[in-house]
Each structure stands twice: as structure tokens, then as C-alpha cells.
Amino acid sequence: MEIYFKQKSDGTYFGEFHEVQPQGYITKEELPTIEPNPIDLVKLEFEKYLQTKTDGENAYLQISAEFRMAKISGDISEEAHLYIENLLKPIRNEIMFGQWMEGLRLLELIEIELIGDELYNRLHLQISNYVTENY
């Protein structure tokens, strides 16, 4: 049995299995190819960029809230908070603009000891997982 396609009145196709090709049906190879509209491709790419930017903003707001709560609770000092924020600023800027791959590259340039193993590993895992899942 093979699948053969027939065009419906709305221009779309449906497939049915038949032993031989029925009259008025075409094979898979004969289906027309639809070339994407370049404007649609730009719109799709724009929407992907917008989503990575939104995801970056949300990721930064989450970590920022955690830093603030750690500062309020006394787990880190104001000076340590400012130091970490300044050290991560180039990475933050890239991530908040949706440039996750560049953010990861910049993070990997930081010496782990400057922010500690736990924070570095957590940020690295979060950013690299995002890059793997979305690029």
C-alpha cells in the first residue's frame, strides 16, 4: 500500500492509502513545494529574537531578586553584591538582549574563583542549557 494525495477545494491536500494510484491522486513526490515567504521568515526570526530577549530579562530578574534577598537576609554584604553585579554586568547585558551564546562566552572568560564555584556552575548550567535548547 502506498499513500496518494488528492487536492481539496480549499487548496490543501489529504492522503489516503491505496494499492494502486487512483485517478485524480498524486504521489508524495508530486506534491507541490511551498516556498516560505521571505517576509514570514524575517517575522519568525524576529519573534525568536524577541523570545530570547524576554527569556533573558526574566532570567536576570530572577537572579537579581535572589541577590537582593541574600543581601537583605545578610547572606552577602552590600559590597559583595555590588562586586558580583559589576563582574556579571557584561554577561547580564548580553543575556538581557537575548544574546545567550555571547553571554555564555563572556561567562567562560571569568575566573571561577572570582564569583565562587556554586554561582559560576549554576549560571553556566542555566545559560548553556538555554543555548542547547534554543539554538
63-100 confidence digits (pLDDT tens)? 999 999 999 999 999 999 999 999 999 999 999 999 99
76 and 106 assigned to the same domain:
yes
pLDDT at 32: 87
Where in the sequence is the domain holding 104, given as residue range(s)? 38-134
Phi (first) and psi of residue 16, to 5 degrees = -140, 150
Say whether both 126 and 68 belong to one domain.
yes
In the chain, the percentage of residues whose pLDDT exceeds 90 is 81
Counting the structural domains of the chain, the total is 2
Residues 28 and 45 in one domain: no
Q: Are residues 6 and 70 in the same domain?
A: no
Q: Note whether 45 and 27 are same-domain residues.
A: no
Is the separation of the CB atoms in 103 and 53 below 8 Å? no
Whole-number Å distance between alpha carbons of 59 and 76:
20
Domain shared by 13 and 77, yes or no: no
> What's the pLDDT tens digit per position in 16-70?
999 999 999 999 899 888 777 777 888 899 999 999 999 999 999 999 999 999 9
| Residues 43, 88 within the same domain | yes
Instruction: Please check whether residues 54 and 102 belong to one and the same domain.
Output: yes
- Comparing CA positions, the residue from 106, 108, 94, 100 lying closest to residue 132 is 100
Q: Assess contact for 107 and 125: CB atoms under 8 A.
A: no
pLDDT at 10 over 90: no
Grid coordinates given for 132: 542547547
What does pTM read for this prediction?
A: 0.69
